[in-house]
């Protein structure tokens, strides 16, 4: 699949998929990378070292710092794939240096899929067994 | 994107390493979102101030920038801090937290940023005009300035707002453009909204439903600015709504094209469901008003309700330092403290460490607070109108 580069880089990993938007501030624990938003479909799950897939960001604009902090604390996702990346997530991933791509039909990606995210070339590949 | 000669110079590092790094972020965002150029801005509001929110990584990021003697170019305000910057000790904020919080505040001060820490800058001396381009980041203030004032800002992340302040520029895309300010969903409200909490509940539901769309409300007959701030704050917290229009009330509503929009109807039943959904607790340990920061009108109305009473559970009112000062002068603060309440300035319940201060169940009338407290502050929530909340403390 082809998308738009938000933040450069290349990575390979397992997908963790949320059909719901993610608000990083108040939604993700900055120290552990675990989703803490009550009743979120991914509540209790860790996004560390995963390819995090979600439609778009939501909520507080402090989310950028949370993404930056996740990276500094070594608990960030390897890469991020969105339908539409809004400014808060974009600022966070650029600052943190996390590869990120958007304009991707995320309904094609399932939890646990092996993903190649090549943001430099705007490509997402699903490598199913 | 087109850059002027002066802007090229910033990008080439001729204005120093910090400006280069921050301007590069703005250019990057501009390229992603299809900006044609940079535009000058009138003011900035920076989020990401509480130590609880940004932690050590954010603190070090800010100290690094301030250590290079970089100054902001336009009037810049701050979002709430994690504690009352003057009365933190008296109010019981932990000492090690305070130490780190003050590091952050000093870094901002060194950059020339006004240490007025509030989510309602428009009530505290940073008031944009209609159609003025600004770069604000507090999501409820973004909503208020875009919708109620008709100024123009995108939802800036903390760092991109800081970059805008230091460069005096923002990329020209999104809500800076009139064609991007058109509504794309109609919300028909079929019930009477009375309390500020009704506006908060409506906002919570609409934000959840429309996510990052631009709603056009009909059927809201009247609303004061306190109620509009409550509505916008909740929509920005449960969704990513940065701009809304209300027929007959907000300045751009009559100018937009609202023909042929998908319509969502909201009546009494939907509103009751939201009240139920937001309630996860029975008896509050504490009731906190002022999310977003209370206006003087809100403070005076709470003051009238608690005058001469003895509270069994504390009431906190979060507000800006300026409103607190007016409240002190009017004697409201004194009346509220006599009853057993506190007016807390500079901070708010969401960004302060209330879960470490002995509270488990918090009463609020704010849809935004009800959205954040369970996850971020491990609180059960009693969501109700001001009268019911005051009653619960007596």
Q: A69 pLDDT exceeds 80?
A: yes
Q: A55 pLDDT exceeds 80?
A: yes
- Determine, for residues B54 and A91 on separate chains, whether the beta-carbon distance falls below 8 Å: no
Each residue of B360-393: pLDDT tens digit?
Answer: 999 999 999 999 898 878 899 999 999 999 999 9
Which of B375, B377, B379 to probe the A interface (max A CBs under 10 A)? B375
Angle between helices B367-376 and B196-210 (to 10 degrees): 70
- Determine, for residues A56 and B211 on separate chains, whether the beta-carbon distance falls below 8 Å: yes
Within 8 A by CB and 6+ apart from A86, the residues are: A56, A57, B155, B212, B240
- Determine, for residues A92 and B157 on separate chains, whether the beta-carbon distance falls below 8 Å: yes
- Tell me the two tokens of residue B42: 């009138």
pLDDT at residue number B298:
98
CATH number of B5-178: 3.30.499.10
Q: Pick out chain B residues at pLDDT < 70.
A: none
Q: What are phi and psi of B383, to 5 degrees?
A: -105, 115
Q: A129 pLDDT exceeds 70?
A: no
Which one of B57, B79, B212 has the shortest CB-CB distance to A56? B212
Asked if B97 and B353 touch (Cβ cutoff 8 Å), the reply is: yes
Break chain B into its structural domains and give their ranges: 5-178, 182-276, 279-393
- Determine, for residues A61 and B350 on separate chains, whether the beta-carbon distance falls below 8 Å: no
pLDDT at residue number A110:
95
Report chain A residues whose CB lies below 8 A from the CB of B212.
Answer: 56, 58, 84, 86
Could you write out the DSSP letters of every residue in A60-85? Answer: -TTHHHHHHHHHHTT-S-SEEEESS-
Report chain A residues whose CB lies below 8 A from the CB of B58.
Answer: 65, 68-69
This complex has an ipTM of 0.81
pLDDT at residue number B288:
95
Q: Which residues pair with A100 in a beta bridge?
A: A7, A80
pLDDT at residue number B375:
81
Report chain B residues whose CB lies below 8 A from the CB of A32.
Answer: none
- Tally the residues of chain B: 394
CA distance A5 to B46: 26
Report chain A residues whose CB lies below 8 A from the CB of B25.
Answer: 91, 94-95
Q: What residue ranges define each of the domains in chain A, with the CATH number in brackets?
A: 4-126 (3.50.30.10)
Choosing from A7, A18, A60, A107, which is the catalytic residue? A60
Report chain B residues whose CB lies below 8 A from the CB of A92.
Answer: 157, 159
Q: What are phi and psi of B292, to 5 degrees?
A: -60, 170
Which one of B32, B56, B157 has the shortest CB-CB distance to A64? B157
What is the rounded average pLDDT of the residues A91-98?
93
- The pTM of this model reads 0.91
pLDDT at residue number B173:
97
CA-based nearest distance B242→chain A, Å: 10
Q: Is A107 a catalytic residue?
A: no
Q: What are phi and psi of B207, to 5 degrees?
A: -60, -45
CA distance B76 to B127: 11
Asked if B108 and B41 touch (Cβ cutoff 8 Å), the reply is: no
CA B9 to chain centre: 34
The 3-state DSSP composition of chain A as helix, strand, coil percent (nearest 5) reads 20, 30, 50
Within 8 A by CB and 6+ apart from B206, the residues are: B187, B215, B234, B235, B239, B241, B264, B266
Within 8 A by CB and 6+ apart from B171, the residues are: B1, B26, B27, B29, B30, B33, B35, B37, B38, B39
CA distance B146 to B128: 10
Q: What are phi and psi of B308, to 5 degrees?
A: 80, 0
The CATH number, out of the four listed (3.30.450.20, 3.30.499.10, 1.20.1050.10, 3.40.50.12780), of the domain defined by the range B279-393: 3.30.499.10
Question: B5-178 and B279-393 share one CATH topology?
Answer: yes
- Determine, for residues B47 and A91 on separate chains, whether the beta-carbon distance falls below 8 Å: no
- Strands B169-171 and B38-40 turn out to be antiparallel
- Determine, for residues B350 and A59 on separate chains, whether the beta-carbon distance falls below 8 Å: no
- Chain A and chain B share a number of CB contacts under 8 A equal to 126
Q: Which residue of A has its CA nearest to B278?
A: A38
- Strands A4-7 and B43-46 turn out to be unpaired
Longest dimension (CA), chain B: 65
């Amino acid at each position: 699949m082809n998308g738009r580069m938000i933040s450069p880089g290349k990575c390979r990993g397992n997908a963790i998929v949320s059909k719901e938007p993610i608000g990083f501030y108040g939604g993700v624990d900055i120290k552990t990378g675990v989703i803490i938003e009550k009743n979120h479909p991914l509540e209790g799950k860790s996004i560390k070292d995963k390819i995090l897939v979600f439609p778009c960001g939501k909520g507080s604009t402090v989310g950028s710092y949370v993404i930056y902090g996740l990276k500094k604390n070594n608990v960030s996702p390897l890469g991020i794939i969105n339908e539409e990346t809004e400014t808060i997530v974009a600022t966070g991933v650029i600052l943190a240096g996390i590869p990120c791509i958007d304009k991707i039909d995320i309904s094609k990606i399932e939890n646990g899929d092996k993903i190649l995210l090549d943001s430099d070339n705007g490509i997402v590949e699903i490598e199913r067994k | 994107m087109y850059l002027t000669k002066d802007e090229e110079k910033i990008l080439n590092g001729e204005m120093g390493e910090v400006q280069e790094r921050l301007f590069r972020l703005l250019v990057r965002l501009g390229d992603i979102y299809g900006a044609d150029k940079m535009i000058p801005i009138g003011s900035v509001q920076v989020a990401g101030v509480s130590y609880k929110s940004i932690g050590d990584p954010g603190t070090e990021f800010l100290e690094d920038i301030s250590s290079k003697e970089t100054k902001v170019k336009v009037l810049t305000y701050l979002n709430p801090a994690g504690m009352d910057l003057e009365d933190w000790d008296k109010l019981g904020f932990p000492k090690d937290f305070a130490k780190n919080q003050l590091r952050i505040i000093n870094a901002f001060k060194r950059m020339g940023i006004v240490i007025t820490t509030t989510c309602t800058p428009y009530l505290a001396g940073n008031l944009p005009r209609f159609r003025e381009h600004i770069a604000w980041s507090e999501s409820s203030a973004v909503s208020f300035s875009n919708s109620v004032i008709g100024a123009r800002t995108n939802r800036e992340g903390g760092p991109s707002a800081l970059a805008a302040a230091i460069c005096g520029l923002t990329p020209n895309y999104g809500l800076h453009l009139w064609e991007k300010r058109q509504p794309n969903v109609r919300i028909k409200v079929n019930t009477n909204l009375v309390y500020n909490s009704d506006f908060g509940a409506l906002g919570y539901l609409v934000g959840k439903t429309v996510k990052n769309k631009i709603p056009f409300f009909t059927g809201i007959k009247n609303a004061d600015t306190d109620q509009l701030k409550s509505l916008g704050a909740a929509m920005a917290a449960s969704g990513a709504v940065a701009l809304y229009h209300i027929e007959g009330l907000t300045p751009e509503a009559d100018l937009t094209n609202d023909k042929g929009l998908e319509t969502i109807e909201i009546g009494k039943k939907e509103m009751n469901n939201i009240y139920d959904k937001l309630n996860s607790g029975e008896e509050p340990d504490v009731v906190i008003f002022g999310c977003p920061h209370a206006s003087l009108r809100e403070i005076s109305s709470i003051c009238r309700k608690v005058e001469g009473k003895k509270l069994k559970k504390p009431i906190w009112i979060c507000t800006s330092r300026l409103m607190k000062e007016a409240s002190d002068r009017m004697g409201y603060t004194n009346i509220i403290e006599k009853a057993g309440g506190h007016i807390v300035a500079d901070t708010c319940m969401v960004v302060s460490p209330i879960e470490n201060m002995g509270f488990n169940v918090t009463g609020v009338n704010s849809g935004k607070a009800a959205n954040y407290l369970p996850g971020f502050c491990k609180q059960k929530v009693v969501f109700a109108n001001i009268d019911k909340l005051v009653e619960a403390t007596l």
